[in-house]
Structure 1
């Protein structure tokens, strides 16, 4: 009897081992076959961060984030042959009116809005975008800062480093940096010199940058500049109206400010003269462009007299004294957390740091998003294309140094062809609370953005566009030609997903995908989300879930696989040849060094051949040379 029990127990153990082996069999040997898992989106999350991110080292100073898209706002049908996105049919009565959404290409704007903001004030910038400019998210960026008559830019100051402070741990500060870099990738509305400035100098530096760098660099003209802190809730429409009414008939100039007064009086602020009202801190101002140029020309003289004030406060007192420019110093409301007694006639309320306060204040003083900037949907919305990527930076900041330059690479490619550019981080961050690896956020991000476009071209953060002239419609045309050549029942089926499988890999690489907005693709990615087995299966995750799903007969009709194709749309460095479209760096460690090296070579007009070669490739080249 004991022997039989031993045999039964042994048999049970063997049976369980066999079951486990069957479940794991498809993937246990992938490493031995040279398959590169989905480490690319993991960004070497346990690897050393790259460049200047340790203790006392110089922090990385990112470049200006992106370029202005000067292409026509009407986006192309990705497959339309010979489409010219600069041609617009304005006379055909059958063509829907596009006047509400076509971008301003004249180069002339009424207003440039400059918003100084500390780099940590991410939420404040979000509130400003939503309440003042009507921008709730970046799902349809649509070049909002080019519409109508208004441009805006955040002038962000401070040094984005993570050192332990008296209030926060180093880990907390790193989280702030990661979120801030994601914001800069997602919204092309930030200028960030990454330098520490005091309150008195920030406004002067911001206005100097706007007048002497941004406006000339963009080759535009503006009539006036509005400036306010990101902690100020402003009714910009009424501010502009007040300034318009105060403008001298002889156009001699105007400085109109809103701030906190040091005057101790019971007289209503509207009745105070400039001699009675002395603004100690200016929260907002409206200044004609010619007046601002004059202020900046006399900046040294103005600030010498009042070095502790910001440039606009000092200028208001300077010109009020000499009388050559009209000065109006109005009062803003100091926010004391009492919404009931807040005057509904207030135009500026500051400082505000809580969302629970921001939106009630906005409603109380009648803030409305500028119609000249708020997006009006394209009536032909289905004919739109976006280049999409991740803006999520993993703990450790591996891709911190490369995130902005590589986003600029993708943004420039999109702008060249009239595509939108969308980057997302929120869907990756939420995976921490869903029991899955962060890389699964890629699927959620695609699902969220897909309904807004006809085609979505996904690229991992560490993928670099090399051939800027290649159009996405060429990928569709090649896929359709290959499918037609194969014949059979699938030849006439619509293609909704285009991916590539490297020759030596056992499955597709999901780092580059072209997805069409169809019922098939929406259902396909919903099905991928259900593959729980791969939620934390290192290192394949969502990539294996896509591979498993697309190989099932029920889904075969919608996928085209460039099988064993190293060059059409997704090329690893070891296989790169001059002329390839995209090089995808997916090393065992952090991808930032080869990504930055490749971007530098592209900027210098050099080939990226050899950048990011694996040790195996280098050894093979040495062996061949000998």
Structure 2
């Protein structure tokens, strides 16, 4: 794991040295319990373009109640190494590679917030309160407390608490249900979280007419087609490499091509 980078920027004005707040360190983070999709090169390309760090985590964590909580354990471990962490599921990819998170989400400047989510789009008539597939979280005590509470939330607790009309279908016990549970049961936390429209960073393949129409594409369950099949269709339609970036941008990562493709284990 890379060590945390700390910097103090000083500007000299009138012979005096004045401390200036450094730009926040941003970590792009993804992962799963195995390599399931060829998205990590897309993530790495995007991170490198903006000077962000990137982490793809398949480390095993002891004591998790199910594999879906791997995300929570990963974020708890990674968040101490950055100011803001942008999580995206391993079935999501960046499409507007030149757009920075800071320009896309100016809400990051609000120090009263500890997390920024998107609402979900309506997909086959289904909508959820928020999407835990792609979101921003800031390093602060409130964020760690929230994540630990989510990690300790049981499926039984979430199911007993659940209001399908307000939150959408209960698919748990997953990380998303735990997050909604821990936010909605604590009004104080809700004041430190913002929910953006899905168009900001939670669009689906059917929202696209060109590859760069939206910031991010998230491949979700679709009857009759695996996510790998959806990705293959998307890359073919928009002239992208199988790694969801133009061939020229994927090429510097050629040494990883075979290991990624041979290691894919989509359930």
TM surpasses 0.5: yes
1:129-528 → structure 2 map (5 Å cutoff)? 383-393=24-34, 399=36, 402-403=37-38, 406-426=39-59, 429-430=60-61, 434=64, 436-478=65-107, 494-504=112-122, 505-528=127-150
Equivalenced residues, count: 216
Partner residue, 1:179: none
Q: 1:409–1:535: structure 2 CA closer, same or farther, 3 Å change rule?
A: farther
Pair 1:584 & 2:206 matched: no
The residue number in structure 2 matching 1:602 is: 240
SS class of match (2:54): strand
Task: Return the index of the structure with the highest Cα Rg.
Answer: 1
Tell me how far 1:478 sits from its aligned partner. Answer: 5.0
Q: 1:443 to 1:381 in 2, by over 3 A?
A: farther
In 2, Cα distance between the equivalents of 1:533 and 1:509? 18
The whole-number CA distance in structure 2 between the counterparts of 1:390 and 1:535 is 26
Task: Tell me by how many angstroms 1:452 deviates.
Answer: 0.8
Change (3 A) 1:532 1:519: same
Q: Following the alignment from structure 1 to structure 2, what is the Cα–Cα distance between the partners of residues 382 and 544? A: 33
Q: Distance in 2 between matches of 1:382 and 1:528?
A: 29
- State the alpha-carbon separation in 2 of the partners of residues 519 and 451 from structure 1: 10
* TM-superposition CA deviations, 1:17-51 (whole Å, max 9, x none): xxxxxxxxxxxxxxxxxxxxxxxxxxxxxxxxxxx
- Work out whether residues 465 and 583 of structure 1, in 8 Å CA contact, stay in contact via their aligned partners in 2: yes
CA shift for structure 1 position 503: 3.7
- C-alpha separation between the residues in 1 aligned to 2:44 and 2:6? 15
Measured against aligned partners, the alpha-carbon deviations of 1:296-345 in whole angstroms (never above 9, x if no partner) come to xxxxxxxxxxxxxxxxxxxxxxxxxxxxxxxxxxxxxxxxxxxxxxxxxx
Write the distance in 2 (CA, Å) between the matches of 1:549 and 1:415.
Answer: 34
Given that residues 507 and 544 in structure 1 are in contact (C-alpha distance below 8 angstroms), is that contact kept between their aligned partners in structure 2? no
Q: Which runs of 5+ in 1 are unaligned?
A: 1-73, 77-87, 97-379, 481-491, 607-626
- Residue 179 of structure 2: which of 525, 546, 554 is its match? 546
Equivalent-residue separation in structure 1 for 2:177 and 2:104 (angstroms):
23
5+ residue gaps, structure 2: 160-169, 248-267
Change (3 A) 1:383 1:503: closer
Match for 1:559 among 183, 189, 193? 193
- Partner of 1:602: helix, strand, or coil? coil
Q: Post-superposition shift, 1:437?
A: 2.0
Deviation digits for residues 257-286 of structure 1 (CA, Å, limit 9, x no counterpart): xxxxxxxxxxxxxxxxxxxxxxxxxxxxxx
Mapped to 2, the partners of 1:525 and 1:595 lie a distance apart of 30
Asked if 2 retains the 8 angstrom alpha-carbon contact of 1:567 and 1:576, the reply is no
Q: Distance in 2 between matches of 1:90 and 1:479?
A: 24
CA distance in 2, matches of 1:442, 1:535: 19
TM-score, length of structure 2 as denominator length: 0.68
DSSP-derived class of the 2:226 partner: coil
Distance in 1, Cα, partners of 2:93 & 2:192: 27
SS in 2 for 1:498: strand
Match of 2:256 in 1: none
Q: Residue 595 of structure 1: CA displacement? A: 2.3
1:533: Cα distance to partner? 2.3
User: Structure 1-normalised TM-score?
Assistant: 0.31
* Contact 1:521 1:558 (8 Å CA) reproduced: no
Q: In structure 1, how many angstroms separate the alpha carbons of the residues matched to 2:145 and 2:206?
A: 35
Q: 1:415 to 1:94 in 2, by over 3 A?
A: farther
1:572 to 204, 227, 252: 204
For residues 411 and 418 of structure 1, what CA distance do their matches in structure 2 show?
Answer: 10
Seen in structure 2, the aligned counterparts of structure 1 residues 521 and 464 have a Cα distance that, compared at 3 Å, is same
Residue 57 of structure 2 contacts residue 74 of structure 2 at CA under 8 Å; is this kept in 1?
yes
Shift of the 591–503 alpha-carbon distance from structure 1 to 2, 3 Å rule, reads closer
Task: Give the Å deviation of 1:498.
Answer: 0.7
Q: Are the aligned partners of 1:467 and 1:581 in contact in 2 as well (CA < 8 Å)?
A: yes
Shift of 1:91: 8.7
Deviations along 1:571-607, whole A, 9 cap, x unmatched? 112233542100000124531222244345334869x
Instruction: Report the CA distance shift for 1:602/1:95 in structure 2 as closer, same or farther (over 3 A).
Output: farther
Distance (whole Å) between structure 1 residues aligned to residue 48 and residue 12 of structure 2: 27
What is the alpha-carbon distance in structure 2 between the residues aligned to residue 439 and residue 408 of structure 1? 23
Q: In structure 2, what is the Cα distance between the partners aligned to 1:392 and 1:448?
A: 15
